[in-house]
Amino acid sequence: MVNPSTEPMSPTHRLGLLGLASAVALLALLIGHGQASSQSEAATDPEIVPGRYVVVFKDTAVTNAYQVDQSVDALQATYGFQAGVRYYWALKGFAATIPNELADTLRRLPSVDFVDSVYFGHTTSQTVPIGPRRVGAKLSGPAKIDNLNDSHLSGLEVAIFDGGIDIDHPDLTVPGGVRYSDWRYPTCQNGSSFDDEGLGHGTKVAGVLAAKDNTSQVVGVAPGARTWAVKVFDDTDFATSDCVIKAVDWVTNKKQRFDVGYTDGINFRVANMSFDFGANVPSLCSAVNRSVLAGVVYVVSAGNDNLNNPGYSPANCTHVITVSAIADYNGLPGGGTGWTCNNYGSDDTLASISNYGSTVEIAAPGTCTETTAMGGGTILFSGTSAAAPHVAGAVALFMWNGYSGSAYGPTVVSSMTSSGWTVAQSSACGFSGDRDSYPEPFLWLAPGCGSYTKIFSDVNCSGTVNSTDANDVLRYVSVLPITQSEPCPDIGPPIKINGTFRKWGDVDCDGDVDSVDSLKISQYVGGGNPSQNPGCPAFGATVTIDVTGSL
C-alpha cells in the first residue's frame, strides 16, 4: 500500500497523496486567516461581520468531537452565549455572535488556539494564487495570464495520475481519462471509463497546473491545458503499484499511437504523480522510465516526510523530475511573512515537511496555495503534492514554447535553467534553508529576477501620474490603507485581489466601481497593459518596482 498522507483522513484509510489541505487551511479559505482584529478594527472594518467570531481550540486541549461539545457547553454556561455552529472535524471549535470584549477574553484562555473574525464573502474576480505568483507565472509570456478566457494552451495534453478529477468543475478542462483504480480486482477495473473524483486531491492538482484563465476563481500555471484523469486511487484512498503501472502503460501506449499517426492517440507531453508508495518499487520505476523514453515527461512529488533520499518510488525513479516544496505565504520572494494556513517553516525556505536530497531536481511553492475544489469552488492546498503540479505546468509551457528535446527529467530541468526558467537558490527570487548539499534550482517563470518597470495611469485619480500611483497599487495588494482622492467616484463594494477582499474606487475611470477595477489592479502589478479610459489623465512616466513589491 502507499504511504499515509498527512491530510486528515479516516483512521482506517492509508493514502500516499501528499497534499496537506489542513483543517486550518480550509477555515482560512472560508473566512480568512490570521490573528483576529482588535476591537476597534472589528467595529469599523466593513468587510468583517460585526461581533461574530470563530473560536478554535488547541489540538492538545481538545482532541475529539466529544471534547468539543464538552468545552463549548462549559464556555456557554460560564459566559452566557450560544454557539451558532460547532466544528468537529476540519478543526475543533465553534462560531458565535459575542461581544468584542468576550472575544478578547476567550482569546486568552489556555485551551484556545486563536479567535478569528468572520468576513463577508464577495468573490467576483479571478485570483492568481500565491503559488503561481511566487514562481512569476503572472509575468510569464507563454502563460499569458490576462483574465481573458484565453485558450491558447488548449492543445496541451497532461496526464494526472491521482484519484480522478472533478469533470464538471467550470475552471478545468477534463477531456477524458481512464480508470485503473480498484485494487480489489486483479484487472484493476481493466481500464474502464473514468468517473468523477471521490477524493478531491486530483482536482486540487489539476487546478494548480491548469485552471482556466478567465474572470472567476483561480488560474493555473498552464491555464486551460487539458488535464486527463488517470484514476489510480479508488474512492477509499487506496492504490497499488500494479494498477499504477497499468495506467503508465496506458499513457505510454496513447503517446506512441499519437506519434505514429493513429487517430485514437493522445499527445501526452507531461504526466504528474503527486504520491508515493513508501518504498522502492523497481517495477514502477522501470515502467515510468520507459514511458519517459516514449516522450512523456514525468513530474513527481518528493514526499512529505522531511527525509533525506528516503528511496520511495516514484520520487527515486531516475528519469523523472522530482520536486521539493518551499514554504511561501504571500506569493513574493524575499521572506519575512508569517505563516498563514499552517506553519511549514519560515517564508521562502524549504518547507519543513518536504523530503530532500540528491534525487530532487527542482523546488516549487508547496504551501497555502488556492486551487480548484472537488464539487466546485476553491480550497487551499499544501505539500509536495502541490509543488509538483507547479513544475508540471511549467514543463508543459516550456514544451509549448518550443522545447523538443529529451523527456529525461534532469535534461528537461537543465534546459529550463539554461533558458531562464529557473533561478538559483541564492538568487533574490530563490529560497534558503535547504537541508542537503544538492542545491536544486527554484522554478521561476518571470522575465528575469530583479527589477522591472511599469507604466502606471492615474490610479488614485489625483489628476497626475507619478510614483504615488504605483505605491498605491502595491499598498492595495498588500492590504494596507489607501487614501481615495476626490475626483474618483465613491468607494464601492469589496472586490477580491490575490485572495484578499479590499475596497477600491473607480480605477479605470469609467464612472462606476466594479470587478473590472480589480482586474485593472491585477494587470498593473502583474506586468499587463490595461487600457486607460479617456476620462483619466494620460499615462505617465515609468516606475521601477522590484520583485518584492518595493519601489
Domains of the chain: 23-119 (3.30.70.80), 132-443 (3.40.50.200), 451-546 (no CATH)
pLDDT digits 0-9 by tens, 33-86: 222 222 222 333 333 446 767 787 898 999 887 998 999 999 999 999 988 767
Please report the pLDDT score of residue 523 as a whole number. 56
| pLDDT-wise least confident of 290-299, 315-324, 407-416, 442-451 | 442-451
3-state helix, strand, coil in the chain (%, to 5): 25, 20, 55
Are 373 and 354 a contacting pair, CB within 8 Å? no
Please report the pLDDT score of residue 330 as a whole number. 79
Indicate whether 375 pLDDT > 80: yes
Q: 84 is written with which cell numbers? A: 451558532
Residue of 313, 316, 395, 426 lying closest to 360 (CA atoms): 316
333: part of which helix (H) or strand (E)?
none
- Is the pTM of the predicted complex or chain greater than 0.75? no
Indicate whether 359 pLDDT > 80: yes
pLDDT digits 0-9 by tens, 496-551: 444 444 455 566 666 666 666 656 655 554 545 555 555 555 544 444 444 444 33
* Between residues 150 and 225, the one the model is more confident about: 225
Mean pLDDT of 437-446: 91
Q: How many C-beta atoms surround the C-beta of residue 450 within 10 A?
A: 11
DSSP bridge pairs for 161: 230, 273
Are 15 and 9 a contacting pair, CB within 8 Å? yes
